[in-house]
Amino acid sequence: MNNYENEINKLLEELESDPDFVRLDSRLNMFNFMEIFKISTTELAHSSFLAWLLNPLEEHGLRDYFLKNFLEKCINKINENKRTDIEIPDINELKYKKVIIKTEELIRNLFN
């Protein structure tokens, strides 16, 4: 881990041990914000939210944290399944500022 990741992990640990946060978290776990906003069955809203988290250029301030962790989990799953037909890049060498995160796109009728 680099210094940035160590700092984020330390801050997360402090947050998770804060009594006010624990109390708030337990109250929020009673509710699903997707249900509150009536979007729990709206796939596009879920996709947009995931795209926002995965995009290191968004304003959530977490840079490539979610994207790297998602890719690490994918790579671990590939390795667990002993797939040899998939070339695995070194995720620490990828240029995350050039990444493009896309959600579903409308496909027009191709035959008209």
Instruction: Give the pLDDT band (50/70/90) at residue 95.
Output: confident
Mean per-residue pLDDT, 80-104 = 76
Residues whose CB is less than 8 angstroms from the CB of residue 75 and which lie 6 or more positions away in sequence, other chains included: 88, 91
Q: Which of residues 53 and 106 earns the better pLDDT score? A: 53
Mean per-residue pLDDT, 46-73 = 86
Alpha-carbon distance of 24 to 30, in angstroms, equals: 10
pLDDT at position 13 is 85
Do 78 and 86 meet the contact criterion of CB atoms below 8 Å apart? Answer: yes
- Say which residue the tokens 């946060």 belong to: 21
24 pLDDT above the threshold of 80:
no
Instruction: Give the pLDDT band (50/70/90) at residue 21.
Output: confident
Mean per-residue pLDDT, 48-62 = 87
Nearest one of 80, 103, 79 to 91, comparing CA atoms: 79
Mean per-residue pLDDT, 106-110 = 59
